[in-house]
Amino acid sequence: MSSSGVVRRGIHYLQKLKAANIPSDLIEEGQNRVIDASLTLIRERAKLKGELVRALGGALASTSLLGVPLGHNSSFLQGPAFAPPRIREAIWCGSTNSATEEGKELNDPRVLTDVGDVPVQEIRDCGVDDDRLMSVISESVKLVMEE
């Protein structure tokens, strides 16, 4: 399925729910549950990574990788949505040099922690609008920065 087809799937699903006379408050409650679960996942991943870094003696650098696979507003192709796994592949590929210019190793969790991706597609699939999605992304970044 093309990326534009995936975007339409979420909108189409929301239209089906409305056409089936599902009360809007019930739809919103479902959306809120998906958003809450998404933020909980990000928060718990960040906490777990923070605990690992503290157990290893503390951070050598405070860099976290939070993927945001978002490309539905791209004017041409949906490539940006595929960036987070490609960035990880490049960072942790065995054929690349993981040392920074300061001599720190990116494969050391005290230097770089990967907290996963914001589940953008899952949020969009339940019909969450773009403004609300951007709020979820901002909140996810705040949660990671707090750790």
DSSP assignment of 21-50: T--HHHHHHHHHHHHHHHHHHHHHHHHHHH
pLDDT at residue 94, rounded to an integer = 76
Span 3-29, average pLDDT? 68
Q: How many CA atoms lie within 13 A of 17 on its CB side?
A: 19
**Predicted local confidence at residue 2, as pLDDT:** 45
- Structural domain boundaries of the chain? 4-146
If residue 4 lies in a helix (H) or strand (E), which one and from where to where? helix 3-19
The per-residue pLDDT for 39 is: 94
Give the tens place of pLDDT for each residue, 114-124.
999 999 988 98
- H or E, element range at 3: helix 3-19
Give the model's pLDDT for residue 13: 67
As a whole-number percent, the residues of the chain with pLDDT over 90 amount to 33
Tell me, what's the pLDDT at 6?
46
Q: What is the pLDDT of residues 77-136, one digit of tens each?
A: 768 888 999 989 888 887 777 777 788 888 888 888 899 999 998 898 888 888 999 999
What's the rounded Cα separation, in Å, for the pair 6 and 70? 12
* Dihedral, CA of residue 82, residue 6, residue 143 and residue 106, to nearest 10: -10
**C-alpha distances out from residue 86 to 3, 16, 45, 46, 83, Å:** 17, 34, 20, 21, 5
* Helical H segments across 20-129, by residue range: 24-55, 83-92, 120-125
Q: Which pLDDT score, from 0 to 100, does residue 71 have?
A: 82
Helix axes 24-55, 130-146, angle to 10 degrees: 20
Cβ contact 70:120 at 8 Å: yes
**143: enclosing H helix or E strand:** helix 130-146
H or E element, residue 135: helix 130-146
